[in-house]
């Protein structure tokens, strides 16, 4: 079967890691027909006058699946995040980010295995922002709905059940943010009763951040609101060897976008230094989503083998290999499995 998949290489290191991932997927023999869109973000503004051309969103709606590299978002002015816009327009409410160290990487704690399930469409990322120049007052409003809270927490309980996880921790700041985080927590406590097989607890975000770097093994699955999930994802990536290896999936009812946790890494862009593992692992998640579990398993084994050998790894995980050398080695391992 040929899968139609939208491809957004992105910018910065995006084209390098996306190029590597497409080459690896081709080497697996899986049949994918890519619908490729290069003009997104800055490139979209230059070519079409918009960072997120409508045809990109239409393509993902039609295909239901996309593989995406990072897209730069300017800090000041410019345009709103393409990433946030895609997640909101396609209602990709669940951002799933498994953080597990690959073999052979130097990490502060061996055996960490965490999954962040981040609400992906609401909270402070809703874009309800005002700046009153005269009064010099700025507002960024966190919009959290009961429906949105309920569906992400339900998703987290279902995920934990399906993947036989041992604990679900809801992370919040309900002591201060009584309206938004208070509602999120109350809904979590209500739903916990419907999933008695999954142990459930909750933690306040600041204390939780400390606990993660002292005792990460005490935790397993984490469900939280948008901003906290964004921050904790990078923290957890740091616990398992850095952003170069951690994958992600943005899941909605009708579409899914698979992309790494990391951004466009302007500091190493265009230098053949980027680690494509994070996007490769996102591709493993995509293959499972496409019901290509056998190919997903083969790709996963090739990645594990390359890390176990430790001879051809990129700089961010302690090696000296370029993006291309690493990619060739993954492809060689795929061949060796056949
Ligand atoms: P970043 O994640 O791009 O980079 C942080 C650090 O990690 C840098 O030192 C970078 O070199 C390193 N790094 C990241 N990915 C790597 C990889 N695959 N291999 C080796 N090293 C890697 O975060 P930063 O610099 O804060 O953001 C840069 C831009 O990316 C911003 O414009 C931001 O808005 C955007 N961004 C986009 C995302 C997306 O498209 N989903 C997600 C996160 C950020
Ligand atoms: Mg982030």
Q: What is the pLDDT of residue 338?
A: 61
Closest CA to 337 of 307, 308, 295, 302: 302
**212 and 121 housed in the same domain:** yes
In a domain, 61, yes or no: yes
**Domain of residue 11, residue span:** 1-97+243-338
Q: Is 230 a catalytic residue?
A: yes
Residue 43 phi/psi, 5-degree rounding, is -60, -35
pTM for the whole structure? 0.97
In a domain, 102, yes or no: no
Share of the chain residues as helix, strand and coil, in percent rounded to the nearest 5: 45, 20, 35
Q: 73-122: per-residue pLDDT in tens? A: 988 877 889 999 999 999 999 999 999 999 989 999 999 999 999 999 99
Cα 121 to ligand 2 centre (Å): 14
**112 and 4 housed in the same domain:** no
Mutation to probe ligand 1, out of 77, 96, 243, 325 (largest number of atoms < 8 A from CB) = 243
User: How does residue 7 score in pLDDT terms, banded at 50, 70 and 90?
Assistant: very high
Q: What is the pLDDT of residue 263?
A: 96
Q: What is the pLDDT of residue 258?
A: 98
CB 35 within 8 A of CB 5: yes
In a domain, 190, yes or no: yes
**289 and 320 housed in the same domain:** yes
Mean pLDDT of 238-244: 96
- Does residue 179 surpass a pLDDT of 80? yes
Query: Does residue 18 have its Cβ closer than 6 Å to ligand 1?
Result: no
Q: Is 173 a catalytic residue?
A: yes
Q: What is the pLDDT of residue 78?
A: 75
**37 and 85 housed in the same domain:** yes
Q: How many domains does the chain have?
A: 2
Burial of 147 (C-beta count, 10 Å sphere; 0-12/13-18/19+): exposed
**67 and 36 housed in the same domain:** yes
Picking from 239, 256, 277, the residue at the C-terminal end of a domain is: 239
Residue 60 phi/psi, 5-degree rounding, is -70, -40
**282 and 215 housed in the same domain:** no
- Does residue 337 surpass a pLDDT of 80? no
Q: How far is residue 84's CA from residue 145's CA, in Å, rounded to a whole number?
A: 17
**259 and 232 housed in the same domain:** no
CATH number at residue 336: 3.40.718.10
Q: 250-296: per-residue pLDDT in tens? A: 999 999 999 999 999 999 999 999 999 999 999 999 999 999 999 99
């Amino acid at each position: 079967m040929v899968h139609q998949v939208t491809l957004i290489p992105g910018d910065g290191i995006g084209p390098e890691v996306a190029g590597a991932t497409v080459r690896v997927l081709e080497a697996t023999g899986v049949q994918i027909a890519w619908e490729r869109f290069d003009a997104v973000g800055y490139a979209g503004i230059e070519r079409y006058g918009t960072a997120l051309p409508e045809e990109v969103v239409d393509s993902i709606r039609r295909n239901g699946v996309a593989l995406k590299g990072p897209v730069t978002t300017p800090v000041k002015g410019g345009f709103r995040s393409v990433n946030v816009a895609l997640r909101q327009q396609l209602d990709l409410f669940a951002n799933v980010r498994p953080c597990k160290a690959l073999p052979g990487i130097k990490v502060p704690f061996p055996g960490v295995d965490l999954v962040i399930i981040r609400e992906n469409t609401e909270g402070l990322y809703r874009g309800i922002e005002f700046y009153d120049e005269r009064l010099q007052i700025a507002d960024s409003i966190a919009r959290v709905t009961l429906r949105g809270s309920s569906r992400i927490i339900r998703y987290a309980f279902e995920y934990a059940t399906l993947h036989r996880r041992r604990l679900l921790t809801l992370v919040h700041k309900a002591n201060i943010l009584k309206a938004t985080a208070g509602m999120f927590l109350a809904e979590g406590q209500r739903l916990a009763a419907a999933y008695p097989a999954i142990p459930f607890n909750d933690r306040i975000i600041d204390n939780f951040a400390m606990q993660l770097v002292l005792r990460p093994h005490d935790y397993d699955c984490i469900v939280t609101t948008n901003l906290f999930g964004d921050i904790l994802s990078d923290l957890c990536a740091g616990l398992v060897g850095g952003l170069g290896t951690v994958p992600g999936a943005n899941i909605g009812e009708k579409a899914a976008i698979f992309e790494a946790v990391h951004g466009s890494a302007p500091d190493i862009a265009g230098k053949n230094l980027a680690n494509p593992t994070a996007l490769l692992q996102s591709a493993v998640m995509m293959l499972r989503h496409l019901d290509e579990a056998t190919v997903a398993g083969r790709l996963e084994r090739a990645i594990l083998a390359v890390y176990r050998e430790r001879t051809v790894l990129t700089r961010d995980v302690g090696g000296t290999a370029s993006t291309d050398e690493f990619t060739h080695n993954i492809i060689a391992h795929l061949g060796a499995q056949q």
